[in-house]
A and B are shown apart, each in its own frame.
Chain A
Amino acid sequence: MSEKLLEARTLTMQFGGLKAVNELDFFVNRGELMGLIGPNGAGKTTVFNMLTGVYQPTTGEVVFEGNPIRGLKPYQIARQGLTRTFQNIRLFRDLSVIENVLVAGSHLARYGLMAPVFETKNFRQLESEQYERARHLLDIFGLEGKKDWSSGTLPYGEQRKLEIVRALATGPKMICLDEPAAGMNHKETHNLMELIAKIRQEFSLTVLLIEHDMKLVMGICERIVVLDHGVKIEQGTPQVVQSSPKVIEAYLGVDEA
């Protein structure tokens, strides 16, 4: 039943003299919702960047669905079904909301460069399917009504949601969410977490969630990996993590006195 979808083996990322992530091992089972937590600067986003090909790990390997993916380009990894959102929101700001979503599915629209010029039947059909799909995804997140807005003009919370919709549009098996609730208030966060649970069901997704707010992750994650200073200090169920002295120490610091 619990089959490993993604596995990171002794991942290390070195920037100059600094080891941002040091020999990290972890895995994510298919269908799981796993949390990756740690104080600020623990190296969480660096892990995402290594998994999704933005950074080339200094050493180590990433295995996705049994295939090594280290060294592949980000778009190749995305097309294999591993996609992500960005902590610092990287929407295509001057494009409309629906265009943002359409870009993400563009590798699924298989037609030649000249097909749109002659408006072939194949082109029109694939294109209307793409629009239909994009509208459906936007609808789930309540953004369908704003599909023609310029994405940069959306309110902050909706920009975060659009990041998730866009990632979903690539047709992923696994999605890495980088602090999706950052900057949201309690109610918005709650609402977002329900949405994440919903899409996980609907698209049978595996989710890896970065969050530095521990309380949030405890509620929804099945398993948690805790990073501190680039090193894994704990992993296990929320109960295990919550009661781990190492985690408490990392989050609260140790009173030397």
Chain B
Amino acid sequence: MQDFVQHLINGTSLGSIYALIALGYTMVYGILQLINFAHSDVYMMGAFSAYYLAMFMGLQNSPGVATLASLLAAAMIGCSLLGLAIERFAYRPLRKAPKLNILITAIGVSLLLQYSAQIIFGADPKVFPKVLEDSVLIDFGAVQLKSLDVAVLIVTVIMMLALNFLIFKTKIGKAMRAVSQNMTVASMMGVNVDRVISFTFVVGSSLAGVGAVLVGMKYPKIDPLMGTFIGIKGFVAAVLGGIGSLPGAVLGGLLMGLSEEMVVAYLSSTYRDALAFGLLIIILIFRPSGLLGKKGVEKV
């Protein structure tokens, strides 16, 4: 039982990171109906932005909340700029092109980021700076609440509250919701669609940046291909929750993290990476629109 509670804590911590990544996929999908393959590499670049900021400012070994905050800021800014550039230069020229073309472009951008990163940063893994002291905050004997997990949870909760505020309480959030409902009508109502889409990429990408720092904090090794697996899991989480639905992405992320933790704990770690695809296939067969997704009716 205590074991189970411990796994619950670990799984929630992992799942909230998946949720951050899943939010980025789901937001872009909700607005452009595009699986943004490059999202996982934006995440990777976030980790490297934080890494180089730490190198530059000499923060490699000064754990603390200030370090966490500055690395988060670096990753969020780095990812936002990158997301903005990708949208502007790769996706926007194709706004009216067939979906297939945009999808191929997304794959192209993903590959470009991965391989340029290998050339620029080198293919070898790098050690991520120590962000926080890894200590046990509360010890119930068999169940331990560790500082890193608590930090992950606090940061993700703050991010999600901020996102919620942004989308439901601000003008740009209202515009985002309008564009995802119907782009043409929104633009006729005077919404600057291009700006809203750019903004969506900024928000989604910075969440990926946050995820990258949190992952770097928990598993301090980063390399140019680090986005691949977590990207797939984030995407599966988004599909699981119902792609296009923000609460769905959070729910999907948590489920994904928890089930992964449980599979590793009670079955075997070899199934860890097969789990994502297994889940995906099950969803696609039984509930293609996901847990919280709406079944789309194509207009005829």
Contact = CB atoms under 8 A, between A and B. Distances in A.
Contacts of B297: 15, 55
Interface string A83-126: 00010100000000000000000000000000000000000000
Interface string A53-89: 0110000000000000000000000000000001010
A43 to B, nearest CB: 13
A70 B297 CA distance: 17
Nearest to B298: A54
A55 B299 CA distance: 10
A15 B300 CA distance: 14
A86 B299 CA distance: 12
Contacts of A55: 297, 300
A49 B300 CA distance: 8
A45 interface: yes
Nearest to B299: A88
A54 B300 CA distance: 8
Question: For this complex, into which size category does the number of interface residues on chain B fall?
Answer: under 10
B67 to A, nearest CB: 48
Nearest to A178: B300
A181 to B, nearest CB: 19
Give the interface size class of chain A.
Answer: under 10
A54 B297 CA distance: 10
Contacts of A15: 297
Interface string B273-300: 0000000000000000000000001001
A83 to B, nearest CB: 14
A86 B297 CA distance: 17
A88 B297 CA distance: 17
A224 B300 CA distance: 24
Nearest to A88: B300
Nearest to B294: A16
A88 B300 CA distance: 8
B288 to A, nearest CB: 15
B275 to A, nearest CB: 33
Contacts of A86: 300
A15 B298 CA distance: 12
Nearest to A87: B300
A207 to B, nearest CB: 20
Contacts of A54: 300
Nearest to A15: B297
B97 to A, nearest CB: 14
A49 B298 CA distance: 11
A77 to B, nearest CB: 14
Contacts of B300: 45, 49, 54-55, 86, 88
B280 to A, nearest CB: 25
A45 B297 CA distance: 14
Nearest to A16: B294
Interface string B239-267: 00000000000000000000000000000
A79 B300 CA distance: 20
B244 to A, nearest CB: 16
B63 to A, nearest CB: 51
Contacts of A88: 300
B177 to A, nearest CB: 16
B89 to A, nearest CB: 28
Nearest to A45: B300
A53 B300 CA distance: 12
B170 to A, nearest CB: 26
A88 to B, nearest CB: 8
Interface in A17-76: 45, 49, 54-55
A88 B298 CA distance: 14
A55 B300 CA distance: 9
Contacts of A45: 300
B299 to A, nearest CB: 9
Interface string B210-224: 000000000000000
Nearest to A54: B300
A112 B300 CA distance: 32
Interface of B: 297, 300
8 contacts: A15-B297, A45-B300, A49-B300, A54-B300, A55-B297, A55-B300, A86-B300, A88-B300
Given A49-B300, A54-B300, 6 more contacts: A15-B297, A45-B300, A55-B297, A55-B300, A86-B300, A88-B300
In the A-B complex, the 3 residue pairs with the smallest Cβ-Cβ separation, listed nearest first, are A54-B300, A49-B300, A15-B297
